Chains A and B, each alone.
Chain A
Amino acid sequence: MDEKVTREIFPRDSRKSYGLVELMKKTAPIVRKEPEDTVYVWPNLLMIEIICAILVTVGLMVLIQFEHAPLRSLADPSTTPNPMRAPWYFLGLQELLVYFDPWYAGVVLPGMIIVGLMLFPYLDVNPKGVGYYTYTERKFAVFNYSFGFAIWWITIIIGTYLRGLDWQWYWPWSNHLEHMNPALVTLIPLHLIFVNWFHVSEGVGKLFGDIIFIGYFALGTIIPMIVWKPMYKAMGLWRYLTFSFFFLSMMGVALKIVLRLLFNIKYVLVTPWINI
């Protein structure tokens, strides 16, 4: 029920027993529409469901005429296949291992995706756009979802089609049987670049990296607070901070992919315990 009862006629009282009827200031049981606008589930909806089920069954039957469930040779702990591919729906995560250490790509990031998804309804304060497809009324929310979904799919596609031996980058026209020379790509942590450019010590270089990392989150949180005040006001402090953390982390994944692919940067944040 999306409209609130303006005046409570019978205040709720736990000492009384109630029937299932609730009083609304409306003319019909279905708000805003006359009952005539409804149809019986039998046969209208059931028919649609049955047709869907038949179509899916036919689809599956057709599919398995062309493609069969794979079965390779018996499991053998002593021969590791190369490349070793996860099932396709996890290839996005496997591909992220190229850009992040395993504790982040394999554990923390998936956890954050799950928690972030669960929190989405609580972070999206825009009441518009329920019950119909719209982009214009909720551009930012749609952007966020699509961006995450796009990373997920693009990494799956890269993992499926563009990775070969040793998980190196292979174009469809490259020779997939020949090992790439790993020396072609040397990964460098960002702080060594600073060491080279500014002739500072490694410690100072690391400090630069840390400042960039923390600055990214700090500025990324504070600037929109000032520039898009109404948005911040609408969300409130905690909701905004939570959102900002997840948003910047997601953007961070994309940034790191670019840094790694274009500039061979290995880490931005370097600490004795964790590197990102």
Chain B
Amino acid sequence: MLQKIKNEIVESQIFKSVFRHGYPDNDLDRAYAIFSSVFLHVHPVKVRRSALRMRYTFCLGGITLFLFIVLSVTGIWLMFYYTPYTGLAYRNIKDLQFVIFGGNLMRDLHRFAAHGMVLFVWLHMTRVFLTGAYKAPREFNWIVGVVLLVNTLVLSWTGYLLPWDQLAYWAVTVGAKMASYTPLIGQNGPWGPQLGFLPTNDIMFMLLGGTVVGQNALIRFYVLHCVVLPLVVTVFLAVHFWRIRKDGFSGPL
């Protein structure tokens, strides 16, 4: 009975028009299932049996990716309720906490997935290091990885400002203050003032769009956090996965 329903579905014109291959219960269709899908084709059709060994990758890269996906979904959901305006941002978050259905769930998921992503990206890097997977010919993918790592951290940090509470405000104030100590281009950095950098034109001013964390900083961090950095991460992830395929996976032989 179930078999019959399944056959009805996979033989139907609609199914065929979408997937262009039969149900993957034979090797040909298993191959098609991978390489004719835009989502699955990042995989090879076949992998070495040993590459599946959990005790090699511990799935750390995959978990990082999955957390990034969770963050994108919950983040977009949160964007529906959030206004990057200093007079409203905090109240929006309070509404998420106490009024909006599922608000707490989504906010908590977003927050802890973010912590998780930072943690797992470090663990993944450590795995890659300990298995020597950064050595030739994979040096460049390691660099791509470091870019992803930095982006992950900056993403977390820019997101930290958005709730506009004391935690957010002061963490970002301290961080931005660091920028003002940048040598050569910061108002407080070595040779900064000598080169003419003041509170109103140095690197910290550029970062915050002002001399203190205010409305301009909020909108900057919002755009960076919700648009620019996720896009950058996505592009670099595409390169990252492409290179894993091109350079070959390092797994045990």
- Which positions in A face B, CB cutoff 8 Å? 1, 30, 32-33, 35, 37-46, 48-49, 52-53, 56-57, 60, 63-64, 67-77, 79-81, 84-90, 94, 101-103, 106-108, 114, 117-118, 120-122, 124, 127-134, 138, 142, 145, 149, 273-274
Distance A133 CA – B130 CA, assembled complex (angstroms): 6
A74–B46 contact, CB under 8 A? no
Produce 1/0 per residue, B27-44, CB < 8 A to A. 100110110000010011
A132–B252 contact, CB under 8 A? yes
B253–A131 contact, CB under 8 A? yes
A229–chain B nearest beta-carbon distance, Å: 23
| Chain B residue at minimal CB-CB distance from A131 | B250
Q: Which of B66, B126, B170 has a CB less than 8 Å from the CB of A81?
A: B170
B107–A103 contact, CB under 8 A? no
A114–B146 contact, CB under 8 A? yes
Residues of B near A44 (CB, < 8 A) are: 47, 52
A246–chain B nearest beta-carbon distance, Å: 14
Query: 4 nearest interchain CB pairs?
Result: A106-B178, A75-B169, A121-B139, A69-B111
Produce 1/0 per residue, B88-129, CB < 8 A to A. 001001100100000011011111110110100010001001
| Chain B residue at minimal CB-CB distance from A93 | B178
B113–A60 contact, CB under 8 A? yes
Known contacts A39-B52, A70-B167, A130-B133; A103/B146 CB under 8 A: no
Is B232 part of the binding interface, using a Cβ–Cβ cutoff of 8 Å? no
Distance A49 CA – B66 CA, assembled complex (angstroms): 9
Produce 1/0 per residue, B197-219, CB < 8 A to A. 00000000000000011000000
A81–B166 contact, CB under 8 A? yes
Residues of A near B131 (CB, < 8 A) are: 129-133
| Chief secondary structure at chain B's binding surface | helix
B182–A103 contact, CB under 8 A? yes
Distance A131 CA – B53 CA, assembled complex (angstroms): 12
Residues of B near A1 (CB, < 8 A) are: 248
B64–chain A nearest beta-carbon distance, Å: 10
Q: Which of A56, A94, A142 has a CB less than 8 Å from the CB of B66?
A: A56
A131–B139 contact, CB under 8 A? no
Interface size bracket, B side: 35 or more
A41–B179 contact, CB under 8 A? no
Known contacts A68-B108, A73-B165, A132-B252; A85/B49 CB under 8 A: no
Is B196 part of the binding interface, using a Cβ–Cβ cutoff of 8 Å? no
Q: Which of B162-181 contact A (CB under 8 A)?
A: 163-171, 174-175, 177-179, 181
Distance A74 CA – B170 CA, assembled complex (angstroms): 11
Residues of A near B54 (CB, < 8 A) are: 48
Residues of A near B126 (CB, < 8 A) are: 145, 149
Is B191 part of the binding interface, using a Cβ–Cβ cutoff of 8 Å? yes
| Chain B residue at minimal CB-CB distance from A80 | B170
| Chain B residue at minimal CB-CB distance from A35 | B46
Q: Which of A40, A48, A52 has a CB less than 8 Å from the CB of B45?
A: A40
A131–chain B nearest beta-carbon distance, Å: 5
Known contacts A60-B70, A273-B191; A52/B63 CB under 8 A: yes
Q: Which of B30, B179, B182, B189 has a CB less than 8 Å from the CB of A42?
A: B30
B108–A40 contact, CB under 8 A? no
